[in-house]
């Protein structure tokens, strides 16, 4: 059964970020109904049971007919095998269009560099807060010591220059220096605004670690494609956190039967 979320349900991410549920449409059952449009059968029930069209009689009386005919829904069996098998069949055999008839909108607060990765998923639609119109809040991403020390043997993009190994002491020094840089950037930003520099130009020195905010919307098929890439161990850990614990959690609660098939396929 579909879980009902209240608009505004929010999950904290990183140090100042979040993933907020806005709205959803469609359901696991709706996916079945969409898939069955071609056969005009509709949703029969998740578990095996008596055919709801003929009630197990195996025959039906057509509206314009005067003789009983074989039930087209169960093909004269009087029972059905359960629509959970159909949902699995659709997913396993890449019958993807029915999954486009459900979807979700979320609001994301994340560092700008996370958005640059996210926006590569061009099947979603986005609307981001604009620093042309409002000053960006003084929120900046500061990686934790464990995050800075995280190494990857599978993703060369995560490697440091010349394979230099970062020590805990240097990681601490980096964090302190980063805080000072952020502070300097913000002071210069505020000074530029007070001088009358247009907001669209006063922002140009701000780093990609500055937090921004956007709404993202997409259908279920495209959200699952997003999750396949961004939940991967090869994805950068920051966007992976949003995918796994934000988007993925909402999808698992809203479309639990589809999620069950997806997880069995993707993990």
- Contact indicator for 257, 87 with CB cutoff of 8 Å: yes
- Contact indicator for 39, 51 with CB cutoff of 8 Å: no
In this predicted structure, the answer to whether residue 158 has a pLDDT above a threshold of 60 is: no
pLDDT of 32-67, one tens digit each?
999 988 777 788 888 887 887 777 677 776 777 677
Catalytic residue numbers, as ranges = 230
**Per-residue confidence (pLDDT) for residue 156, from 0 to 100:** 56
**Per-residue confidence (pLDDT) for residue 74, from 0 to 100:** 73
In this predicted structure, the answer to whether residue 192 has a pLDDT above a threshold of 70 is: yes
Phi, psi dihedral angles at 126 (to 5 degrees): -130, 150
Average pLDDT (236-258) is 96
Percent of the chain with pLDDT over 90: 68
> Which range among 77-86, 90-99, 113-122, 137-146 shows the weakest confidence by mean pLDDT?
77-86
Q: Mean pLDDT across the chain, nearest whole number?
A: 88
**Per-residue confidence (pLDDT) for residue 72, from 0 to 100:** 72
In this predicted structure, the answer to whether residue 152 has a pLDDT above a threshold of 50 is: no
**Per-residue confidence (pLDDT) for residue 42, from 0 to 100:** 80
Q: From 2, 59, 8, 69, select the one nearest 220 (Cα to Cα).
A: 2
Average pLDDT (180-190) is 97
Tell me how far apart the alpha carbons of residues 175 and 15 are, in angstroms, rounded to a whole number: 13
User: Angle at the Cα of 31 (from 29 to 37), degrees rounded to 5?
Assistant: 105
> Which range among 9-18, 22-31, 159-168, 211-220 shows the weakest confidence by mean pLDDT?
159-168
As a residue count, the chain comes to: 267
Sign of CA dihedral 189, 190, 195, 199: positive
**Per-residue confidence (pLDDT) for residue 1, from 0 to 100:** 36
> Which range among 6-15, 112-121, 197-206 shows the weakest confidence by mean pLDDT?
6-15
**Per-residue confidence (pLDDT) for residue 20, from 0 to 100:** 96
In this predicted structure, the answer to whether residue 106 has a pLDDT above a threshold of 60 is: yes
**Per-residue confidence (pLDDT) for residue 75, from 0 to 100:** 75
Q: From 34, 19, 173, select the one nearest 104 (Cα to Cα).
A: 19
> What is the layout of strands, in order, in the sheet containing 17-25?
10-13, 17-25, 103-111, 211-219, 125-128
Q: From 224, 205, 208, select the one nearest 140 (Cα to Cα).
A: 208
Tokens of 76: 């004269």
- Contact indicator for 171, 150 with CB cutoff of 8 Å: no
pTM of this prediction? Answer: 0.85
């Amino acid at each position: 059964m579909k879980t009902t979320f209240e608009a505004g349900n929010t999950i904290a991410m990183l140090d100042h970020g979040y993933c907020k549920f806005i709205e959803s449409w469609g359901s696991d059952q709706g996916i079945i109904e969409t898939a069955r449009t071609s056969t005009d059968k509709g949703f029969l029930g998740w578990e095996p049971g008596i055919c709801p069209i003929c009630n197990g009689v195996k025959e039906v009386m057509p509206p314009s007919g005067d003789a009983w005919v074989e039930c087209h829904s169960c093909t004269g069996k009087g029972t059905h095998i359960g629509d959970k098998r159909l949902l699995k069949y659709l997913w396993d055999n890449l019958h993807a269009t029915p999954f486009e008839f459900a979807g979700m909108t979320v609001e994301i607060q994340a560092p700008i560099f996370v958005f640059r990765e996210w926006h590569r998923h061009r099947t979603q639609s986005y609307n981001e807060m604009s620093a042309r119109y409002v000053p960006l809040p003084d929120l900046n991403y500061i990686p934790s010591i464990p995050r800075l020390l995280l190494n990857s043997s599978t993703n060369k993009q995560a490697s440091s220059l010349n394979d230099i190994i970062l020590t805990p002491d240097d990681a601490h020094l980096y964090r302190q220096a980063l805080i000072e840089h952020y502070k300097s950037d913000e002071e210069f930003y505020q000074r530029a605004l007070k001088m009358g520099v247009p907001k669209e130009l006063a922002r140009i020195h701000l780093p990609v670690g500055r937090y921004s905010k956007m709404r993202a919307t997409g259908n279920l098929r495209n959200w699952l494609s997003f999750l396949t890439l961004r939940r991967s161990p090869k994805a950068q850990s920051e966007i992976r956190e949003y995918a796994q614990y934000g988007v993925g959690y909402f999808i698992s609660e809203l479309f639990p039967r589809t999620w069950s098939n997806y997880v069995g396929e993707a993990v």
